[in-house]
Amino acid sequence: MSKPGSQRIARKPRSTWKKTNFRQQLQVDEPVASPTHFYGQGLPNVDTEALTGKLIVLEGADGSGRSTQIRKLVDWLEGNGHAAVQVGIKRSTLVSEELEKAQEGNILSHTTMSLFYATDFADQLENIIIPALSAGFIVIADRYIYTLMARDMVRGMDQRWVTNLYGMALVPDAVFYLDVSPSQLIQRNLSKNQTLDYWESGMDLGLSRDMFDSFVAYQQRMKKAFMRMQRTYRFQIIDGEQQPNAVYDELITAVNQTIFGA
Ligand SMILES: Nc1ncnc2c1ncn2[C@@H]1O[C@H](COP(=O)(O)OP(=O)(O)OP(=O)(O)O)[C@@H](O)[C@H]1O
Ligand SMILES: [Mg+2]
């Protein structure tokens, strides 16, 4: 058996590409090979040339529809023979529980909170994302460093410090941002959870004592931070206020183009 990651996926000549009909879920091309690299210094001892899988990121605010779309995307990928692995914020085995506990008490400074999240990210990068990519899997990230960076930035942290910190991250093959207005987000979060989240409402920032007002003000700031990053980090923005199937169609078309060259 060949070593995971030893088989590089060769780019097919254009003339042999088969057009994918995603609606009928008939056939998907092989992922198009592209060089993987880190934003900055990366992690030590990683041979990025061996990372033959693909990293797809879905970004968007709480309730923007990321999980809804990821479920469909994973079904589609797996239905077409591509193994998919999922990661997300606060999902590391190393610190996710501790992070949850720390948030309950509001005991961390912006810096220590930021480093806690960075640790959660680094653990998943090292133990899930990189091994999966070297085994040729498609990794779907439910949020990535951009949410963490935007959260830090709206809390006034030094942008260079934050950018350097996340220089450890791999550059994804595609980043999608689901754009949904704060008022729509409130409706969705209330119908899903019957409440708004303290942190996603930016209540730690003291923007307003009213959680709804704080949520709107915080989400507007987050969106500005995302828009500032858009060109540098090459987000593809999708209108997340469309019907779920319309969002999905846009997403799959873009994934097909970006990942499979279809
Ligand atoms: N395009 C859409 N239009 C209307 N409602 C939607 C749409 N997509 C998802 N929803 C609904 O909005 C709610 C939030 O969706 P979902 O859980 O997928 O979002 P999320 O971004 O993963 O949220 P969270 O940040 O809580 O993980 C759910 O009740 C879902 O059914
Ligand atoms: Mg979700």
Identity of the amino acid at 219: Q
Question: For 152-185, how does the pLDDT look when each residue is reduced to its tens digit (9 = 90+)?
Answer: 999 999 999 999 999 999 999 999 999 999 999 9
**Cα 229 → chain centroid:** 14
Does domain 34-180+231-260 bear CATH number 3.40.50.300?
A: yes
As given in the structure block, the two tokens for residue 155 are 């809390």
Pocket of ligand 1 (CB under 6 A): 60, 62-68, 188, 191-192, 240, 243-244, 247
Partner residues linked to 138 by β-bridges: 54, 84
Rounded to the nearest integer, the mean pLDDT of the chain is 89
- Closest Cα to atom 29, ligand 1: which residue? 192
Cα 87 to its chain centre, rounded Å, is: 8
Sequence ranges of the domains in the chain: 34-180+231-260
For residue 2, the model assigns a pLDDT of: 38
Give dist(CA 115, CA 101) in Å, integer.
15
In this structure, how many other beta carbons lie within 10 angstroms of the beta carbon of residue 10? Answer: 10
Ligand 1 centroid, distance to 66 Cα (angstroms): 7
* Amino acid letter for position 212: F
Counts of helices then strands in the chain (DSSP H, E): 9, 5
With the most atoms of ligand 1 within 8 angstroms of its CB, the residue from 68, 147, 186, 245 to mutate is 68
| Index of the ligand 1 atom closest to the CA of residue 247 | 1
Evaluate if residue 45 carries a pLDDT over 50: yes
Residues 3-12: contacts with CB under 8 Å, at least 24 apart: 4/131, 4/134, 4/135, 4/136, 5/50, 5/51, 5/52, 5/133, 5/134, 5/135, 5/136, 6/50, 7/52, 7/136, 8/33, 8/49, 8/52, 9/33, 9/52, 9/136, 11/261, 12/261
Atom of ligand 1 nearest to the CA of 240: 1
Query: Residue 12 pLDDT > 70, yes or no?
Result: no
Measured by CA distance, the residue closest to atom 30 of ligand 1 is: 65
State in Å: Cα 167 to ligand 1 middle. Answer: 30
User: Is 7's pLDDT higher than 50?
Assistant: no
**Gyration radius of the chain's alpha carbons:** 19
Give me the percent of the chain exceeding a pLDDT of 70: 89
What secondary structure letter does DSSP report for 13? P
How far is the C-alpha of 240 from the C-alpha of 245, rounded, in Å? 10
Give the number of the ligand closest to the Cα of residue 197. Answer: 1
Ligand nearest to the CA of 242: 1
Ligand 1, atom 2: closest residue by C-alpha: 244
Ligand 1 atom closest to the CA of 62, numbered from 1: 25
Q: Is the pLDDT of residue 14 over 80?
A: no
- pTM of this structure: 0.88
Give the nearest ligand 1 atom to 197 CA.
26
Which pLDDT tens digit goes with each residue over 47-99?
999 999 999 999 999 999 999 999 999 999 999 999 999 999 999 999 899 99
Two structure tokens written together for 4? 């995971």
The C-alpha angle with vertex 246 and arms to 174 and 66, in degrees rounded to 5, equals 50
CA separation, residue 239 to residues 59, 185, 244, 245, 248 (Å): 12, 13, 10, 12, 10
Identify whether the C-beta of residue 197 lies closer than 8 Å to the C-beta of residue 62: yes
Name the closest ligand to CA 179.
1
- pLDDT at residue 27 in the model: 53
Helical axes 211-233 vs 145-154, angle rounded to 10°:
120
3-state secondary structure of 136: coil
Q: Which ligand is nearest to the CA of 193?
A: 1
